[in-house]
Amino acid sequence: MPARNHKQWTSPPSLKAGEWVDSRIYSDPDIFEEEQEKIFKKVWIPVCHESELPEPYDFRTVSIAREPIIVVRGPDNEVRAFLNVCPHRGMMIERRPSGSFAPAQPSGNPKHMTCMFHAWQFDMKGNCAYISREEEGYQDRIKKEDQGLRRLRCEVKFGGFIWVTLNDQVETTVEEWADGAFDCIREAIDTEPLQVFHYHKAIIGCNYKLWHDTNSEFYHDYMHYHNRVTGFNDEYFARKNIAFGNGHVNVNSFEVKYDQYEGFESRAELSFPTFPPNQWYMIDMFPGMNFNLRGSALRCDVMTPLGPDKVMIEFRGLGLKSDSAEDRQHRIEHHNSIWGPFGRNLHEDLIGVAGQGATMQTGSEPRRILHGRHEDNFIHDEVGMRHFYAEWGKWMDRMPSDPMKKYMAAAE
Ligand code: FES
Ligand SMILES: [Fe+2]
């Protein structure tokens, strides 16, 4: 068939509904705003890892759906999450990305969060501990006992990740929300404590779902020279994509032949506990987090959508807390040689999605994005994306292939 004219180019493909999506789901500002309300404010999000707050009074600030959040470790060692918003006049209480409340701050006491604007103070349970000139200004009309922070539901789960939700009425625990998606690596990540050894972030000019798509399909291994030479064998093609409830997917493992790539070595000696040598499992969690256990390192991607065509992706690399200095160094090298900013693999993914982002900006002509490969759930089947968008359609009540219409289930 020759190249197509406009009518041919914009007409629906010969695939069924559910096997493609309309590109407006990646570019429409109204859909983006609706996703914040209907999805991101409702679900569990892994905001960081407990090893990033190792000591009592350590904190980290993050955000979900533009709401600023602070995660702190209390003197009782409990990790708690609060809105990082002062109940007085709404200032962001803590502006540093991370740190400790153990030392005093310029206008406050040690072991307290202090809002620098008018010096109100809060303890690690979110209680308001001090209102400056309280009686003089409020008499008995406002009492500090009633001026606590807004607490958020928070769980430490699956290898020590800190999961937070803005939704007090969330219907599931994190365990129920995952619906078994972590079972394949559960023992490997929960046998002993893990520790973050690598963190970097990227702000990319594409919709957050395009990043999740690329984590959910392996067909694009044609782009990854490293994966082709270490992976394209019978075991690779025998892997299956497995769908779980709530839109999650994982991908079965196989043995990666690292030594087939020049300069690389087997990662067998640094496998996670109970994890067979050189295996690679991948878990994609709705609405956009990814956990990758590959040989000797765990990688986690957390996405914070910033706009319809902009996403912040935080990449963490984790090893065992008990690592010797030498083992840790090897893990870091293994992780970074694939997934560091100058690694063999990660930048290729980023180029791929940035290329999609360039063609799907706000106002770009709607077009069809194909998710229609069927290979009996084997590795290049695009069932991962179809499963994600069936879930997305339910939460949004929009058809992914025609987002101006209400959702109707299509065969995955
Ligand atoms: S806004 Fe925080 S003390 Fe006034
Ligand atoms: Fe990739």
User: Which ligand is in closest contact with the Cα of 350?
Assistant: 2
Nearest atom, ligand 1, residue 93 CA: 2
Query: Hey, what CATH class is 45-154 in?
Result: mainly beta
Q: Are 260 and 266 in contact, with CB atoms under 8 Å apart?
A: no
DSSP E strands, 276-366: 280-285, 289-294, 297-307, 310-320
Q: Are 70 and 76 in contact, with CB atoms under 8 Å apart?
A: no
Residues of the chain below pLDDT 70: 410-412
What pTM, to 2 d.p., does this model score?
A: 0.96
Nearest atom, ligand 1, residue 115 CA: 2
10 DSSP β-pair partners: none
Distance 288 CA to ligand 2 centre (A): 15
Task: Report the distance separating Cα 235 and Cα 356, nearest Å.
Answer: 30
Q: How much of the chain is helix, strand and coil, in % rounded to 5?
A: 30, 25, 45
Pocket of ligand 1 (CB under 6 A): 86, 88-89, 91, 115, 117-118, 120
Distance 217 CA to ligand 2 centre (A): 8
Give the residue whose CA is nearest to atom 3 of ligand 1.
Answer: 118
Question: Which backbone phi and psi does 233 adopt, to 5 degrees?
Answer: -135, 180
Nearest atom, ligand 1, residue 120 CA: 3
Q: Are 303 and 285 in contact, with CB atoms under 8 Å apart?
A: no
Distance 139 CA to ligand 1 centre (A): 18
Euclidean distance between the first and final Cα of the chain, in Å?
28
Distance 66 CA to ligand 1 centre (A): 20
Give me the pLDDT at residue 287, please: 98
Give the residue whose CA is nearest to atom 1 of ligand 1.
Answer: 89
Distance 162 CA to ligand 2 centre (A): 25
Give me the pLDDT at residue 411, please: 53
Ligand 2 ion: Cβ-proximal residues, 5 Å cutoff: 349
Question: 181-396 architecture in CATH?
Answer: Alpha-Beta Complex (3.90)
Query: Could you identify the residue written with the tokens 């740190």?
Result: 99
Nearest atom, ligand 1, residue 90 CA: 1
283 DSSP β-pair partners: 250, 291
Give the residue whose CA is nearest to atom 4 of ligand 1.
Answer: 118
Nearest atom, ligand 1, residue 132 CA: 3
Distance 114 CA to ligand 1 centre (A): 9
Task: Report the distance separating Cα 212 and Cα 387, nearest Å.
Answer: 12
Give me the pLDDT at residue 265, please: 87
Peptide bond between residue 46 and the one before it cis (omega within 30 degrees of 0): no
Task: Report the distance separating Cα 364 and Cα 398, nearest Å.
Answer: 19
Virtual torsion, Cα 324, 327, 333, 338, nearest 10 deg: -120
Phi-psi region of 342 (alpha: psi -120 to 50; beta: other; left: phi over 0): alpha
Domain ranges of the chain: 45-154, 181-396
Distance 135 CA to ligand 1 centre (A): 16
